[in-house]
Amino acid sequence: MGRSPASIVLECLFSASLTIKGLEGGNEVVKLGEGFGSLGDDTEIKADRLIGDAIMKLLLTDNDVQRITIEGMPDYSHAEQRKYWVCVDPLDGSLNYGSKMMTIGLPYTTCVTVLSKCSNATFADIIACGVIDHRSDDLWCAYFDDDGVLKAKIGCFTAFTDKRPNLDLGSMIVFGEMYYPENRNLLLKMFSGCKGWLRNPGSAAYEMAMVSSGSAVAFICDRQKQHELGAGYLLVKAAGGVAVDFSGKDLGQYEYVFNAQTPVILAANQNIANELLRRIS
């Protein structure tokens, strides 16, 4: 059977939720790589693999899915021509999950992105996406409807138009990626001497989703992995926010490559994006 792009996203996220809830020993390491979050040689735990397997099984039943790319698994394509490319990060925040395995504490999420092109795609070809926080089942989803209108639905997602004129770190929360040392150093320089709320819960998909629902005003990373960034891009755009690289260029025309990295600012509005770009310069 065929599903709409939004339905593909939601069914994948529900499958991930059911899988992780039924796991025993999900934090067991099944592949020891350079470390959690490594682009080329990730450490993989049991939960990563089993969620990926469950989502792959679901997607193979969809007559409209041509290509399936799941982190940690071989890329799959049907022989016949179909409509969609589905990209999945089964468990973003694996270290958080592996360390605690509790419903409180730091977030661990599943992230799904659907594109309308299966090769030579750009961020502008992303047509649906979603993120689920497995601690609480909070869920964010954005998609284009049949009339080409970008919409958001489900759970705690609240579209917003943020008109605050400037960045006040003392009264606003900013997420910054701390995994990469160069980005840590950049953030320290950008906010040197500033009191305020610069945070990193350890799941980039969650952090970007939180910008889309207004809990934080920005997310900053000098090399964000695209298989999470694709979802963050569409969520923030659906909420009326801004998604640009470190030169201020909208990410829409960037080539979408699942295992590539891209500098990014996701911000509640253009004024805040401009302030962050000024600080980076």
Supply the pLDDT for residue 207.
95
The model carries a pTM of 0.92
**Whole-angstrom Cα distance, residue 122 to residue 233?**
12
With a CB cutoff of 8 Å and minimum separation 6, the contacts of 26 are 20, 45, 46, 47, 50, 97, 101
H-only helix segments in 72-125: 94-100
**Whole-angstrom Cα distance, residue 270 to residue 281?**
16
- Token pair for 223: 């090399």
**Whole-angstrom Cα distance, residue 122 to residue 260?**
12
- Token pair for 272: 């805040």
Supply the pLDDT for residue 179.
87
* CATH of 173-280 among 3.40.50.12280, 3.40.50.1820, 3.40.190.80, 3.30.2270.10: 3.40.190.80
**Whole-angstrom Cα distance, residue 240 to residue 53?**
34
With a CB cutoff of 8 Å and minimum separation 6, the contacts of 244 are 250, 251, 264, 265, 267, 273, 277
Order across the sheet with 109-115: list the strands.
76-77, 65-70, 84-92, 109-115, 126-133, 138-144, 150-153
Helix axes 270-280, 181-190, angle to 10 degrees: 100
Indicate where the chain has its CATH 3.40.190.80 domain(s): 173-280
Indicate where the chain has its CATH 3.30.540.10 domain(s): 5-153
Side chain identity, residue 75: D
Q: Bridge partners of 184?
A: none
- Token pair for 190: 């950008």
**Whole-angstrom Cα distance, residue 109 to residue 161?**
26
DSSP states along 18-41: HHHHT-SSTT-EEE--SBTT-SSS
Q: What size, in residues, is the chain?
A: 281
CA 153 to mean position of chain CA atoms: 16
Sign of the dihedral through C-alpha 63, 65, 66, 68:
negative
**Whole-angstrom Cα distance, residue 212 to residue 92?**
17
**Under-70 pLDDT residues of the chain:** 1, 30-42, 100-104, 154-161
Domain 5-153 has CATH 3.30.540.10: yes
